[in-house]
Chain A
Amino acid sequence: MKGLTIRISRFDPENDETAHLETYTVNVNDGARVLHVLHAIHDTLDPSLSFRYSCASGQCGSCAVHVNGEPVLACLEEAKDGMTIEPIHLPVKKDLIVDLLPTLEAIAFLLPVEDSVLPKKSEIDAIKPLKDCIECLACVSVCPAVDVTKFLGPTAMRQQMRLALDPRDSGDRIADAVRDGLFTCTSCQACWKVCPKNIEIPGKAIEKLRAQANTRGFTLPRHLEVAALVKATGRSVPWTTETFLEKVPDVIEPYGPVKATVGFFVGCMYNLRQVQSALDAMEVLRRNGIRVIIPKEQVCCGSPLIRTGQLAIIETLKKQNIETFQSRGIDTVLTMCAGCGTTLKNDYKTPFKVIDINELLTQYGLEPPARLSIKATYHDPCHLMRGQGIRDQPRELIRQVVDLVEMPSICCGSGGGVRSGNPEEAAALGSRRGKEIKKTGVDIVISSCPFCEFHITEHTDKPVKNITTVLLEGYKEKDRQKGTPPVT
């Protein structure tokens, strides 16, 4: 037995205006789950505590709650001292019980075809990764698109794709998915990272539905324009000024001894829109012993097309990028755009290793910058934190140069083609981010993704800077303190 002190969100609609946290201390067995704690409180301290459960074994999806802000199944999650248990983000009926019914009813049923035949083995295999949903709605609880649009949610899309693959179903799943908000998904990956059944909804349902929607003429006009631009120019951003690739030599040698050699994949945004950020990154790499090879024939990674279901020229882009780096004998390709990084790592099969700049700089050890007397917050790019699992490395770098004030990690709304295709949704999510930034009281916002940096700038009055720009400022300050003339 052990004693645990935990906090639980309590709300009784008959007496309370808003929910409040109450603290309880209970004894439970070692290895107890969150559900055991709820039972212990209910049975020994407060019989009015309300929560929902049924199977107690992770199979019915009745018991999802937030523990320390993350959705989990109460019956599977181990109880820890000091945790906070709250309802998932759906309308609360009482304490931890939320109104599941409207969202469950939005999950489509199979509409049988006449004279149906059993699915073939290949069809069953295709359906398999989508069929294990226990309808716990953890995914809905974290979906940013659900919060600001009429999107029916991740698991509703999962079910549409599952049915679209089933020969026994007669529904028009693609048209229904488009109607229910298929193009509002920001591709933030939050849903499947919390899914207790690990169902990869963005890649295996939403992108697949979007690809089928593309063949049916449902692709949004703005997304078609981007595809046409990539087809014509190899880039997803229009040419305006001198590009990064035009400005830099083919090889950038470090100032000191070479610790590592990498090929640099710049990506459309840093090549064409935020050129200075990429130049700052090169300077930081020079100071840290990284030799950078920059093949000029590289093109768009294809991410803006893959996320919006436009797959026609993807194989051509992949082939060109892979050959470009491979032909130079490069064994490690460096990315600094979170979107390109996640695409090269997860959508390509590369004969070389792909590494993000935050990984690289922490791996080889950073020349210490001077400390800047400012406070900063860090925005986790979805495609870095969830797409590549990189959460600690940027923080490790930032803490060396400024004081870091944390804020909750939520999508800024710029991904998945939402900024171009659904600007109102993107603005609603962006302004939500702006409010979180304001709460932190910081001087600057740091991120590590050109899309996030560009989008968040419109929703905060604080400067939004790339992580390498801030490191470079730390180096310049160091040089100034030492009296070393700045390198130009």
Chain B
Amino acid sequence: MMLTDDVVDCHVVDCHVLVTGSGGEGIRAVIESSQYGDTVLVSKTIVGKGGCTTIAEGGYNAVMREAGA
């Protein structure tokens, strides 16, 4: 996995899956999809700082059963 914090270079990147958002959900999606194809994650801040996950004070919503998905 390549991590950049590049705000300057604009370049075109091809991918199979584009994930937006670097909260827990986005990161989990990237981990999964990167096993199957080229994946790019776009985040408006540094990965790990953004999203609601880092600021959630202990509460998470998660799908527990197939039927809930």
Contacts and interface: CB of A to CB of B under 8 A. Distances in A.
Nearest to B23: A54
Interface in A40-69: 50, 52-55, 57, 59-62
A54 B8 contact: no
Contacts of A104: 46
Contacts of B7: 50, 93-94, 97
B26 interface: no
Nearest to B43: A54
Contacts of A53: 44-45
Interface stretch (B12-20, B30-38, B48-56, B60-68): B48-56
A60 B8 contact: no
A57 to B, nearest CB: 8
A54 B5 contact: no
Interface in A367-418: none
Given A54-B51, A60-B54, A101 B8 contact: no
A120 to B, nearest CB: 20
Contacts of B54: 59-60
Majority secondary structure, A binding face: loop
A13 B49 contact: no
Contacts of B55: 55, 57, 59-60
Nearest to A104: B46
B8 A13 contact: yes
Contacts of B51: 54
A280 B50 CA distance: 57
B29 to A, nearest CB: 18
Contacts of A13: 8
Contacts, number: 42
A104 B50 CA distance: 14
A99 B7 CA distance: 10
Nearest to A61: B49
Given A52-B45, A62-B45, A101 B5 contact: yes
Most buried by A among B5, B44, B49, B55: B49
A62 B46 CA distance: 8
B40 to A, nearest CB: 19
A104 B5 CA distance: 12
A28 interface: no
A52 B44 CA distance: 7
A14 interface: yes
A83 interface: no
- Of the listed residues A54, A59, A93, A100, the one surrounded by the most CB atoms of chain B closer than 10 A to its CB is A54
A284 to B, nearest CB: 53
B8 to A, nearest CB: 6
Contacts of B46: 52, 62, 100-101, 104
A94 to B, nearest CB: 5
A135 interface: yes
Contact of A14 (B8, B44, B49): B8
Contact of B8 (A52, A57, A93, A135): A93
Contacts of A135: 49
A59 B46 CA distance: 14
B45 A60 contact: yes
A99 B5 contact: yes
B28 to A, nearest CB: 18
Interface string A110-142: 000000000000000000000000010000000
Contacts of A100: 5, 46
A94 B8 contact: yes
Nearest to A101: B5
A54 B51 CA distance: 7
Interface centre among A55, A93, A94 (most CB of B within 10 A): A55
B7 to A, nearest CB: 5
Contacts of B8: 13-14, 93-94
- Top-7 shortest CB links A-B: A59-B55, A54-B45, A54-B50, A62-B45, A97-B7, A93-B7, A60-B49
Interface of B: 5, 7-8, 44-46, 49-52, 54-55
Given A53-B45, A60-B45, A62-B49, 7 more contacts: A52-B44, A53-B44, A54-B51, A60-B49, A60-B50, A94-B8, A100-B46
9 contacts: A13-B8, A54-B44, A54-B49, A59-B54, A60-B50, A62-B49, A94-B7, A100-B46, A101-B46
